[in-house]
């Protein structure tokens, strides 16, 4: 569980703090964890990414005003996203940082790789990842107060971040992958989670069903059911959404006006009818 990367899903870093008493020493505690909100990728055996540094920027600081970024962690940590599915997380760091409002994360990714079933290993080039880092805005901003808990979720959508080169119909036709990161940053103090079951009309679990969470016409986050038909999508910013469940050879079902409340779990089950 020490790796992270992939072709068709999402990675998340969750900055979490155990609740405690507020203090005035000017510092707060920061814990970073990693998880994945996956996509169906039957051909992928493992998907890894290596993170070397994480930086934060305080709100109001300019990009070019000296050194606006604070290095909150530096090292080498590799994660396998296939081991981090449906709400599972793995810790990246546990540090103390100055209190304040942080509006931007800069993530340094040294390397990434995909292992395809019966198709070999692929090292994926990470343009600018190890040098200048990947910048992700936090909206709403992350507020860190002395002695209090703050949380942040970085969601790297690997279904959109990896561009396939070659023929995806067979492992032998795959030439390689290009990394173009698509990342969202969620302030977990303003977010909740969504989970539930997807079954057919006979109450049999449907594995590999895709869950799409939308706000208006914009897809916010996605997930997929496991072998038991269960899905978990953490880090959904509080608000009202439409949620769809779909699977090949089944009718797509959409539920509107699904309310997500910060710090709470919303349970939403689906029953899909065959076409």
63-90 pLDDT, tens digit each: 554 558 899 999 998 988 777 777 777 7
Q: Which helix (H) or strand (E) holds 161?
A: helix 158-161
Domain segments of the chain as ranges? 10-181, 190-272
Q: What does the pLDDT read at residue 275?
A: 92
Q: What does the pLDDT read at residue 195?
A: 96
d(CA 4, CA 7): 11
SS3 state of residue 246: strand
Q: What does the pLDDT read at residue 162?
A: 67
Q: What does the pLDDT read at residue 40?
A: 42
Q: What does the pLDDT read at residue 67?
A: 56
Tell me which residue has tokens 């995806």.
Answer: 168
d(CA 256, CA 245): 12
Q: What does the pLDDT read at residue 5?
A: 33
Q: What does the pLDDT read at residue 247?
A: 95
Mean pLDDT of the chain: 79
Q: What does the pLDDT read at residue 262?
A: 92
Please give the class, per CATH, of domain 190-272. mainly beta
Residues of the chain with pLDDT under 50: 1-20, 36-40, 65
Task: Provide the CB-side half-sphere exposure for 58 (13 A, CA).
Answer: 12
Query: Which tokens belong to 23?
Result: 């203090």
């Amino acid at each position: 569980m020490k790796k992270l990367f992939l072709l068709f899903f999402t990675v998340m870093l969750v900055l979490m703090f155990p609740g405690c008493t507020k203090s005035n020493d000017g510092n707060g505690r920061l814990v970073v964890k990693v998880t994945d909100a996956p996509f169906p990728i039957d051909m992928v055996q493992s998907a890894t990414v290596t993170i070397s540094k994480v930086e934060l920027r305080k709100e109001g600081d300019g990009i070019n005003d000296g050194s606006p970024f604070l290095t909150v962690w530096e090292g080498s940590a590799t994660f396998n996203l296939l081991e981090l599915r449906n709400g599972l997380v793995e810790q990246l760091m546990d540090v103390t940082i100055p209190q304040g409002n942080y509006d931007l994360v800069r993530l340094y990714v040294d390397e990434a790789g995909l292992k395809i079933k019966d198709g070999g290993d692929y090292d994926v080039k990470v343009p600018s990842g190890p040098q200048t880092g990947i910048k992700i805005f936090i909206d709403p901003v992350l507020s860190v107060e002395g002695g209090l808990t703050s949380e942040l979720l970085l969601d790297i959508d690997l279904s959109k971040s990896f561009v396939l080169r070659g023929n995806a119909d067979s492992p032998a036709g795959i030439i390689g992958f290009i990394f173009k990161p698509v990342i969202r940053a969620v302030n977990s103090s303003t977010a909740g989670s969504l989970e539930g079951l997807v079954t057919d009309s006979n109450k049999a679990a449907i594995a590999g069903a895709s869950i799409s969470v939308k706000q208006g016409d914009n897809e916010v986050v996605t997930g997929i059911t496991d072998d038991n038909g269960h899905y978990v999508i953490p880090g959904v910013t509080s608000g009202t959404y439409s949620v769809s469940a779909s699977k090949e050879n089944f009718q797509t079902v959409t539920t509107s006006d699904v309310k997500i409340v910060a710090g709470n779990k919303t349970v939403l089950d689906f029953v899909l009818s065959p076409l």
